Amino acid sequence: MKQIKIITIMLYLIVKSASAQIQEVIDNINNPLGIALLNDELFISEYSSNKIIKIDVTIANPSKIDVLSTGLNFPNEILLDGNFLYVANIGSNKIIRFDATSVNPTPVDVVTGISDIRGMAIMGNELFIADYSAGIVYKTDISGSIPSQLTTVLTGLNGPWGLAGNNNELYIVERDGNKIIKIDIALSTPTPIDVITTLSNPLDIEFVNDDLFVTELGNQNISRIDTSTILPITTTQEIVSGLNFPYELEISGNTIYFIEASLNRISKFDGALSVNDEPNIEQIKLYPNPASEKLMLKNINSDIPYSIYNILGQEVKKGIYESGKQINVVDLESGIYYLSLGSGISEPLMFVKK
Of 276, 307, 334, the one marking the end of a domain is: 276
Do 129 and 145 lie in a common domain? yes
Residues 12-25: tens digit of each pLDDT: 444 444 444 789 99
Average pLDDT of the residues in 135-161: 95
DSSP code of residue 280: P
| 26: in domain | no
Q: In sequence order, what are the residues at sequence separation of 6 or more whose Cβ sits closer than 8 angstroms to the Cβ of residue 71?
A: 96, 107
Last-in-domain residue among 276, 309, 342: 276
Same domain? 72 vs 111:
yes
pTM of the prediction? 0.74
> Mapping DSSP to helix (H, G, I), strand (E, B) and coil, where does residue 4 land?
helix
* Main-chain dihedrals φ then ψ at residue 218, nearest 5 degrees: -60, -35
pLDDT surpasses 60 at 282: no
**What is the DSSP pairing of strand 315-321 with strand 285-287?**
unpaired
Res. 164: pLDDT tops 90: yes
Of 276, 300, 318, the position where a domain reaches its end is 276
Q: How many structural domains comprise the chain?
A: 2
Claim to verify: residue 65 and residue 41 sit in the same structural domain: yes
259 and 300 assigned to the same domain:
no
Residues 187 and 331 in one domain: no
Residue 54: the pLDDT is: 98
- Runs of H (alpha helix) within the chain: 2-19
Residues 28, 260: Cα–Cα separation, whole Å: 11
From the CA atom positions of the chain, what is the Rg in Å?
23
User: Is 108 inside a domain boundary?
Assistant: yes
Q: What is the CATH number of the domain that holds 80?
A: 2.120.10.30
What single-letter amino acid sits at 84? F
Tell me if 17 is assigned to some domain: no
Whether 129 and 190 map to the same domain: the answer is yes
Check the CA dihedral 157-158-159-160 and report its sign. Answer: negative
217/265 same-domain check? yes
Q: Are residues 234 and 324 in the same domain?
A: no
Structural domain span for residue 317: 2-11+278-353
Predicted local confidence at residue 345, as pLDDT: 45
